Structure 1
Amino acid sequence: MRPHTAGRLSTVLLMAAWAAVLAPLPVFATNGMYLVSYGAEATGRAGANLAVSDRTLALNANPAGIAQVQGRHYSMNVSLLAPELSAGNAVNDNLEAEDRLFPMPAFGHIRSRPDSKWTWGIGLVGQGGMGATFKNANTFFGTRDETFTEVRFATLTPTVAYALTEDMSIGASLNLGWADASFRFYPQTSFFNTADPANSFFGVAMQRAGGPQVNLRLGWLWQADPRLSVGAIYQTEPQSTFEDGAMTVNFAAHPQLGRKVKYDAEMDGFTFAAQAGVGLAWRP
């Protein structure tokens, strides 16, 4: 990056940066199941990786950032997701989910030449997902049963970045992913309401409905000043498919069926969220 002299532009940008940081923003709990960061460095920065994307796994944060890295670089990382979950309802005062560890591996490789404005990379990343298991739960039908959920999502991510100037770059990542989902909802419970059959309940279990997930991530990075960098990304909503699952419905209490019945299963309307973000980095 070439040196700049401090001046009005830096002052204006610094004021804008502080205004953006201090402005109140809404926070939503269902924006997606992605991790806040990928790689030890980004995690150490608490996920502040849109304007400081100077490592191999930047291809999964701001793909424009890999233009800052010269030569060949490899990176491997494993994160462990260890959620602590609890729930309660009218028949369960407090249920603690079983402790589970979810490994999130990531591998990245980038390559550039000193005489080229192009940088290339590829990553294999465990993007996210999670699950919860609540056992020995009281049901509303006089039984004790369990609930279980699990979603897994990983991508192969070819990436390219181009240096528009010494201070500005753009990049794009194509996420070629696979995801699957499983759940169990009181699978051993079967209740037939003779007074009102429409309000009967039959436990269900579904295994491994999955399919490809494809989307595009675009990035922009600008070193506005030796102390200030600005980054922005946009990621499209994946084209999602969840098919070829196996579902079992517990009709044991049904007067005509009287047994568990197996079906082929698919899920509609379930996907991962689109993303957009702007990041600012200030180095005193």
Structure 2
Amino acid sequence: MAHNTLEKTPVTLLGLGAMGTALARTWLAAGHPLTVWNRTPARAEPLAAEGARGADTAAEAVAANTLIVVCLLDDTSVDQVLAGTDLVGRDLVNLTTSTPDQARARAEWARERGARYLDGKIMAVPPMIGVAEAGGYVFYSGSPQLFELHRETLAVPAGTTYVGENAGFAALYDVALLSAMYAMFAGATHAFALTRKEDIDPTALAPLLADWLVAMAPAVHQTADQLRSGDYTKGVVSNLAMQVAGTPTFLRTAEEQGVSPELLSPYFELMRRRLAEGSGEEDLTGVIDLLVR
């Protein structure tokens, strides 16, 4: 085991919240020498008992290894923690939540300090880390050479998906997917609200709702194809005019059920605006153009 450990890439991990701790345990279990640091030293103690080396300061932790992984609260925390550390010659992998612009600025910040940079955004919750069948993965963007160099090590906690040399792309993909998730949750929220006052078991509605969302999900491929071709009428089944005509039924049903329409109304208004400006034969894809103006 000791010989195997020596062959694995040493890792320094800054930040031992729930996610950082999960990452740490997977690297330790895989035999990677691990140096850890956290603002609250007590968080490092259980990991030290499992074989990690605890550093007294962030600077000491950074000095210990070439591969530095940062998993902190926010972009401001990265500034605070790395202030005064020597990053020359270090490979900095930043898994901290940020915006695309913050990620691009952080990449330049790292370059000015002599470090190579990868931005990473985790598409998983802590219990999914280290569990391959859970399907968690991390978007990475930035230096392709750095990604290839450390791909095997980075793949230990979760799958890896490299999305481009632009350091902001991992954050952009992350927020794009999570935005779609929240919009889906909004729709599910409205669906449950509609039935809340009736003699309908929510656990009976749930599988129907889940199956319907799964059945509708492939529509994103048609949307993408229409965006790329510029032809929003391509492959249309239910056109914009037809769908706008149906919106009053949704709003009246909400009123009858005593449910606020505030989750649906903004999207319906965008649909009506697009119909007024474009062609009723289009799909819903044109609504995207309204949002990016």
Task: Tell me which interval the TM-score lies in, with the shorter structure as reference length.
Answer: under 0.3
Instruction: State the structure with bigger RCO (CA 8 A, min sep 6), 1 or 2.
Output: 1
TM-score (normalizing by structure 2): 0.23
| Between structures 1 and 2, the one with greater helix share | 2
Higher strand share goes to which structure?
1
TM-score normalised by L of structure 1: 0.23
